Amino acid sequence: MDKGVLVIGGGVAGIQAALDLAAARVKTYLVEKAPSLGGRMAQLDKTFPTMDCSI
Amino acid sequence: MMDAGRHPLIDVFTLSEVIGLEGRPGNYQATVRTAPRYVDLDLCTGCGQCSDACPIAVPNEFDIGLGTRKAIYSPFPQAVPNAYTLDFDNCLNDVILACERCRKACDINAIKYDDYPKEFTIPVGSVIVATGTGVYTPYQKGDYGYGIYPNVMTGLEYERMLNASGPTNGKIIRPSDGRTPKKVAFIQCIGARCALEGGEYCSRFCCLNSAKCALLTKDHEPDVDEVSIHYIDMRAFGKGYDEFYRRTQAEPWIKYVRGKPSKILEDPETRNLILYTEDQATGKPQKRDADLVILASAGMPNREVTTQLAKILGIETDEYGFFVSRQSSTQALEATRDGIYLCGCSRGPEDIPDSVAQASGAAALAAKHLADHRIERIKEDIPQVDTSGPPRIGVFVCNCGINIAGVLDVKKLAEQAAKLPNVVWVQSDLFTCSDQAQRVIQERIVEHKLNRIIAAACTPRTHEPIFRETIRLVGLNPYLFEMVNIRDQCSWVHAHEPEAAMERATDQIRMAVARSARLEPLEAKELKVNPSAVVIGGGLAGMRAATDLALQGFPVTLIEKTERLGGRSRELNVTFPEEYDAETLFNEAYERLKQSGARVLTGTEVIGVDGFVGGFTVKTDTNGDVKAGAIIMAIGSDIYNPVGEYGYGMTKGVITNMQLEAQLKQGEVELDGESVKTAAFVQCVGSRDPETNPGCSRYCCATTVKQALALRKRGINVIVFYRDMRTFSHHAEESYREARRAGVVFVRYNDDRKPEIIGENKVTGIRAYTEAIDDIVEADVDLVVLAVGLSPYKEAYAKLKEIMKVPTGPDGFFMERHPKLGPVETNTEGIFVCGCAQGPKDLTDSVAQASGAAGKAATLLANETVLLDPTTCAVSFDLCRDCGTCVAICDFHAPERVAIGGGLFAAKINEALCKGCGTCAAMCPTGAIKARHFTDNQISSMMRVFLLGSEA
């Protein structure tokens, strides 16, 4: 396995960190306890103040 | 979410936990345990047949128990990965022999009852803790009847009810009888700002979240008569939040009621709720009734879980179970062990923009341990779909839960689309953006030889990149995708006129089909990237951004206009909340900057920028040109000048909080050599005022608390006149409480009745009307401190705006690309923004955001090349008459005159500078300029079908 960064938690913060690392060519291991990524934000309907869809 | 799921450099382990971490920074070994899913991730297509066959229904955790799920389930329609999960604890196979319905229902044998837990180790250089937060469950808050009265629910439960894919499909109902409520009441600060139960801290996101839910309530249920929000202080501190708050205040059916109810009782017959509150006008107790009460529960971690993880990682947690930062002003993202970083709600409640910026920041910090381990970009080998033949269009119409289908007849839209020319395949899905639906699109492209794809769904701003990537992965050029926004621009805005909306959506789809047939494949050009960066502004934010980039191995030049680094921090005495000596803080930051190897140019001003993403030339007045692939703007902000307000500049004894800070730095607080007896602070001077700065300046309430405590230590009496105490930052609420205990008097004034200063030449007193006693409060004071807001550097911003081509927002600060999707990026690719240049904020948030900008810049600098968006304009030399119109009108300086031989000149467009806005194409008198992806032919085909009803 390539040496990389371990990201614990697959909510909006964990996903963003993983995407930025991967875009900077750093191998990333994203570990999430639940069956799906998404975390708290995926439970929301829309987000303030721009009312974008949460997904 | 889906991007993370399919990125080749990200391995996602769901149902997994970290159970061990050995080694040292740069060389850790992490042990991960994956619980069995009992469904093969590689085989499962997410079709759902297993779930349909399952006889067991249990409460759904994702809906906080409001709805049900099967024992084999997918938590929500857009789940990533989209494979189902078998919850063995609730499975019949566990208790009764061989139910096996799901296994029999699965056509591809993806279900394996003999799955088992797996443990494995991963070599990691660093760790990011992004575990988020739990939510306070208000069972302890017995006064409000949660868990007893069915019509009292938490904010997150309400959120699930509002969600189109939630348990009620977006319908708002009373749990007791399923009826739509008429009166909904929100109660803020449940489990927050409370010493008795929950936490003493502020949970940051709840105020605006309730304001948002209030707006959505009427959207979902137009018959709701009233939504009331019961609050202590409205903490609308983020960028654009106060404006949003004012928008909700203007709605006649939204009532903001100050003060938390003392208790709630239920009428046992109607199940309606009675809130015991205070009448603000009379100060007398009053009762208000509501059909449904929402408790805005605070973010609060599951302490057992976080302390367990902290033990495994060797880091510390606080008394609530949040992870502790090494030092909160400038090292907030660093945990207490080297090589472990924090972001988002793991270190305390945060809103989404701050979480996202911190996540990029944690990425920058984590990446420095892996600077030598970057992975070579993998060459993809995807056979291209031949698109030379006649158009074969596939149309995918999205229900978006009820967001679209609640207004538009999606089935009918699909039937109509099927009859349009060149359309070969049409289908509708509950959520076209789900992993499952995206896979289906890929299958249909292959199966039906589709060469054009249309999604009639939501906004291209958030979702077009996902669809483009989906079709690219099966070899279809991404620019052969067309998105029709039948949600934001149709079903949402025309929700109350479904027939007209239907007509409009029909037109939108017809026009898209016409345009789609004329789309051409476009190839993105690759540009070389210079891996070095320039950071403009040498305050603590700029220093941090430069340090974080240099430590990742990128050459960095930090340019500071003045002769000294440190910016505003050099004027501070101590920081908040740790009372860390500001000079020591600066020295430590400077030491890190020096060791990082970043080049520092002080006394140097940026006078121009040439070039484009990956290849900028930054021109300076005293140090020549600096080449860079990326630029970070960290130029901070000015301080509001209150001259003429509250007697400032005329009346002796009226000073700003920065002037007080200077005195505190000297030691004694004096006025003309005489000691001060009583000081009054006035908050929101030059903040939350549409005339000056419409938004909150974020730093001032906590600073006032810090300074008030410092004055009390010197034996000075303190009164604070405020509108809302916005002590939301880390430990600020606790300090606010401490200040009240220390005898600081807090008096609230109304927005429209500002305090008045008494005294001609020298201040002798202050008076203000306060609603709390419905009377004027007057006090003798000898010092008035104005808590001044942050404002843009007018001249410097105007200059940089022109040089950088980065727009400023209505508040005068530089505009980020998107508050959540790109909080540190700008609309000019390769230029990033952080700290107060993007909007007022405190030291902690500025510095965290600076790390975020460094993280984002690294995503560009770590790659040898960058792909340019090919939707740019191009000039046909044959038609160009060298009139110069395009050169004159382009805001981005993309067109230039070039010699084309024979003594002739023509315009040529620099694709790296062109934004594809099409202004030049519209203005070109000879039609020599073509706007790719928006050609005359494509646009006029849309106009034709719209106006004539067909393409004839």
Contact between chains at B359 and A12 (C-beta distance less than 8 A): yes
Cα dihedral B636/B858/B13/B58 (nearest 10) = 30
Query: Span B840-853, mean pLDDT?
Result: 96
Work out the angle between the directed axes of helices B540-551 and B352-367 (0-180°, nearest 10): 40
Regarding whether B781 and B695 lie in a shared domain, the answer is yes
pLDDT class of B378 with cuts at 50, 70, 90: confident
Which amino acid belongs to residue B449?
A: K
DSSP code, position B510: H
Regarding whether B652 and B622 lie in a shared domain, the answer is no
Nearest CA in chain B to A30: B12
pLDDT of residue B95: 61
pLDDT of residue B845: 95
Of B128, B156, B375, the CB nearest to A27: B375
Of B130, B160, B856, the CB nearest to A13: B130
Question: Beta partners for B808?
Answer: B814
Residue B707 structure tokens? 């300074």
Of B160, B238, B355, the CB nearest to A13: B355
Torsions phi, psi for B339 (to 5 deg): 85, 5
With a CB cutoff of 8 Å and minimum separation 6, the contacts of B311 are none
Is it the case that residue A6 has pLDDT exceeding 70?
Answer: yes
Determine how β-strand B678-685 pairs with β-strand B895-901. Answer: unpaired
pLDDT of residue B24: 96
Contact between chains at B12 and A24 (C-beta distance less than 8 A): no
Distances (CA, A) of B875 to A13, B346, B479, B570, B869: 43, 52, 20, 53, 17
Q: Under a CB-based contact definition with an 8 Å cutoff, are residues A28 and A51 in contact?
A: no
For B927, the domain range is 872-931
In a domain, B528, yes or no: no
What long-range pairs does B464-469 form, CB within 8 A, spacing at least 24?
B465/B3, B466/B2, B466/B3, B466/B433, B466/B438, B467/B438, B467/B441, B469/B3, B469/B6
What is the Rg, in whole angstroms, of the alpha carbon atoms belonging to chain A?
13
Nearest CA in chain B to A51: B212
B259: alpha, beta or left? (left if phi > 0; alpha if psi -120 to 50): left
| Chain A nearest CA to B358, separation (Å) | 8
End-to-end alpha carbon distance in chain A: 31
pLDDT class of B94 with cuts at 50, 70, 90: low
Q: Is B881 exposed, middle or buried (0-12, 13-18, 19+ CB in 10 A)?
A: middle
Task: Answer yes or no: is the ipTM higher than 0.95.
Answer: yes
Contact between chains at A18 and B4 (C-beta distance less than 8 A): yes
| Chain A nearest CA to B22, separation (Å) | 13
Regarding whether B227 and B193 lie in a shared domain, the answer is yes
Mean pLDDT in chain B?
93
In a domain, B648, yes or no: yes
> Residue B682's domain is classified under what CATH number?
3.50.50.60
Q: Which residue has the tokens 């149709």?
A: B490
Chain A residue numbers with beta carbons less than 8 Å from the beta carbon of B309 are 8
Regarding whether B654 and B686 lie in a shared domain, the answer is yes
Chain B residue numbers with beta carbons less than 8 Å from the beta carbon of A30 are 4, 10-13
Regarding whether B87 and B57 lie in a shared domain, the answer is yes
In a domain, B556, yes or no: yes
pLDDT of residue B340: 98
Chain B residue numbers with beta carbons less than 8 Å from the beta carbon of A21 are 9, 363, 366-367
Regarding whether B176 and B92 lie in a shared domain, the answer is no
**Could you tell me how many CB contacts below 8 A there are between chain A and chain B?**
272
- Which residue, of B128, B154, B179, is where some domain finishes? B128
Please give the distance of CA B176 from its chain centroid, rounded to a whole number: 35
Nearest CA in chain A to B240: A49
Is it the case that residue B952 has pLDDT exceeding 60?
Answer: no
Chain A residue numbers with beta carbons less than 8 Å from the beta carbon of B552 are 24
Is omega for the bond preceding B531 within 30 degrees of 0, making it cis?
A: no
Alpha helices in B47-106 (DSSP H): 49-53, 92-95, 101-105
Q: Under a CB-based contact definition with an 8 Å cutoff, are residues B642 and B786 in contact?
A: yes
Residue B317 structure tokens? 């947690």
**Least confident residue range of B57-66, B219-228, B254-263, B453-462:** B57-66
> Residue B924's domain is classified under what CATH number?
3.30.70.20
Please spell the DSSP secondary structure of B773-834, one letter per residue: TTEEEEEE-SEEEEEE-EE--HHHHHHHHHHHT--B-TTSSBPPSBTTTBTTB-SSTTEEE-
Contact between chains at A17 and B7 (C-beta distance less than 8 A): no
Residue B695 structure tokens? 């938004």
Nearest CA in chain A to B461: A52
Residue B288 structure tokens? 């208000």
In a domain, B134, yes or no: no
pLDDT of residue B164: 80
Chain A residue numbers with beta carbons less than 8 Å from the beta carbon of B344 are 9, 11-14
Regarding whether B147 and B293 lie in a shared domain, the answer is yes
Nearest CA in chain A to B167: A43
Is it the case that residue B126 has pLDDT exceeding 60?
Answer: yes
Determine how β-strand B533-536 pairs with β-strand B556-559. Answer: parallel
Number of continuous H segments (helices) and E segments (strands) in chain B: 23, 47
Regarding whether B619 and B545 lie in a shared domain, the answer is yes
End-to-end alpha carbon distance in chain B: 43
Neighbours of B844 (CB within 10 A): 24
pLDDT of residue A48: 75
Query: Span B300-316, mean pLDDT?
Result: 96
Chain A residue numbers with beta carbons less than 8 Å from the beta carbon of B216 are 45-46
Alpha helices in B342-431 (DSSP H): 352-367, 410-418
Regarding whether B159 and B242 lie in a shared domain, the answer is yes
pLDDT of residue B558: 98
Which amino acid belongs to residue B586?
A: F
Contact between chains at A24 and B367 (C-beta distance less than 8 A): yes
Contact between chains at A2 and B375 (C-beta distance less than 8 A): yes
| Position with higher pLDDT, B546 vs B107 | B546
With a CB cutoff of 8 Å and minimum separation 6, the contacts of A28 are A4, A5, A7, A17, A18, A21, A22, B9, B10, B11
| Chain B nearest CA to A8, separation (Å) | 5
Is it the case that residue B96 has pLDDT exceeding 70?
Answer: no
In a domain, B952, yes or no: no
In a domain, B360, yes or no: no
pLDDT class of B951 with cuts at 50, 70, 90: low
Please spell the DSSP secondary structure of B530-556, one letter per residue: ---EEEE--BHHHHHHHHHHHHTT--E
Chain A residue numbers with beta carbons less than 8 Å from the beta carbon of B3 are 15, 19
pLDDT of residue B511: 96
Question: Beta partners for B770?
Answer: B775
pLDDT of residue B141: 60
Is it the case that residue B79 has pLDDT exceeding 70?
Answer: yes
- Which residue, of B520, B544, B578, is where some domain finishes? B520
Regarding whether B649 and B746 lie in a shared domain, the answer is yes
Quick check: helix, strand or coil at residue B700?
Answer: helix
pLDDT of residue B681: 98
Number of continuous H segments (helices) and E segments (strands) in chain A: 1, 4
Regarding whether B499 and B401 lie in a shared domain, the answer is yes
Is it the case that residue B734 has pLDDT exceeding 80?
Answer: yes
Q: How many domains does chain B have?
A: 6
Chain B residue numbers with beta carbons less than 8 Å from the beta carbon of A37 are 1, 4-5, 12, 14, 79-80
Percentage of residues of chain B with pLDDT beyond 90: 81
Work out the angle between the directed axes of helices B435-447 and B460-472 (0-180°, nearest 10): 50
Q: Give the C-alpha separation, B257 to B232, whole Å.
A: 9
- Which residue, of B264, B297, B330, is where some domain finishes? B297
Distances (CA, A) of B815 to B640, B696, B805, B824, B827: 20, 16, 11, 9, 8
In a domain, B314, yes or no: no
Is it the case that residue B283 has pLDDT exceeding 80?
Answer: no
Contact between chains at A26 and B375 (C-beta distance less than 8 A): yes
Q: Give the C-alpha separation, B744 to B716, whole Å.
A: 10
With a CB cutoff of 8 Å and minimum separation 6, the contacts of B594 are none
With a CB cutoff of 8 Å and minimum separation 6, the contacts of B42 are none
Q: Where are the beta strands (DSSP E) in B205-291?
A: 226-231, 254-258, 263-266, 273-278, 285-290
With a CB cutoff of 8 Å and minimum separation 6, the contacts of B879 are B926, B927, B928
In a domain, B332, yes or no: no
Of residues B636, B664, B661, the one with CA closest to residue B786: B661
Chain A residue numbers with beta carbons less than 8 Å from the beta carbon of B130 are 7-11, 13-14, 17
Q: Under a CB-based contact definition with an 8 Å cutoff, are residues B484 and B454 in contact?
A: yes
Name the maximum alpha-carbon separation found in chain A: 42
With a CB cutoff of 8 Å and minimum separation 6, the contacts of B114 are none
Chain B residue numbers with beta carbons less than 8 Å from the beta carbon of A31 are 13, 16-18, 32
Regarding whether B877 and B825 lie in a shared domain, the answer is no
Contact between chains at A5 and B127 (C-beta distance less than 8 A): yes
Torsions phi, psi for B722 (to 5 deg): -135, 170
